[in-house]
A and B are shown apart, each in its own frame.
Chain A
């Protein structure tokens, strides 16, 4: 079965720095990879989607890269702010898996003043 790994340790960074989160997957190749933000006690909120044939996607201060050779996606938040503090989840739709959306374990980000 597919396995999606995110760094389970929380990431603490200073305000203004770039936060980089990692999502690694094994086995089958995903058709699409998505990133979500989740605040405590709330449902995840969609941020970005990247296709298997795309290398990079940007949206405002967010950037996602997708390396199908390394089976890895990196999620960057530039000029980070305390309001960016949350848990970030990657989710994959695998080829041949229908529309089944499989999530990673999430990484907690804390941006300090």
Chain B
């Protein structure tokens, strides 16, 4: 079954702790993305990667870090430097060409208390 998987679906953390969100795809896609969505708002790009071992900052990268050591995996770490980390996080992948669609995971809802 091909697709993109995010885990866990719900995540709770204490303030000041780093937390890593998982994103795995078996679609053989080159490009992967991380977005953040706040209630009633659209998606804001955190980081994206067009190829293994390379990634670029999106519009709101501060307080986040990523790695792309394998084509299938693009984990996102929410660090303690992120001022307002509670949000819905979405991972996506695409073939990597400009004219192709993105496939999204089911999202991870992170709550920091």
Contact = CB atoms under 8 A, between A and B. Distances in A.
Interface in A42-78: 42-46, 49, 51
Interface residues of B, number: 31
A1 B109 CA distance: 28
B59 interface: yes
Contacts of A79: none
Interface residues of A, number: 27
A93 B102 CA distance: 11
Contact of A6 (B31, B42, B102, B103): B42
13 contacts: A4-B42, A41-B109, A43-B90, A43-B92, A43-B107, A49-B100, A98-B50, A98-B98, A99-B97, A100-B56, A101-B102, A104-B42, A106-B42
Interface of A: 1, 4, 6, 8, 31-32, 34, 41-46, 49, 51, 89, 91, 93, 98-106
Nearest to A34: B101
Interface of B: 31, 33, 35, 40-45, 48, 50, 56, 58-59, 88, 90, 92, 94, 96-107, 109
A31 B100 CA distance: 12
A1 B57 CA distance: 14
Contacts of B102: 34, 44, 46, 91, 101
Looking at chain A's contact residues, the main secondary structure is strand
A6 B41 CA distance: 11
Among B33, B35, B100, find the residue whose CB has the most chain A CB atoms closer than 10 A: B100
A93 B58 CA distance: 13
B41 to A, nearest CB: 6
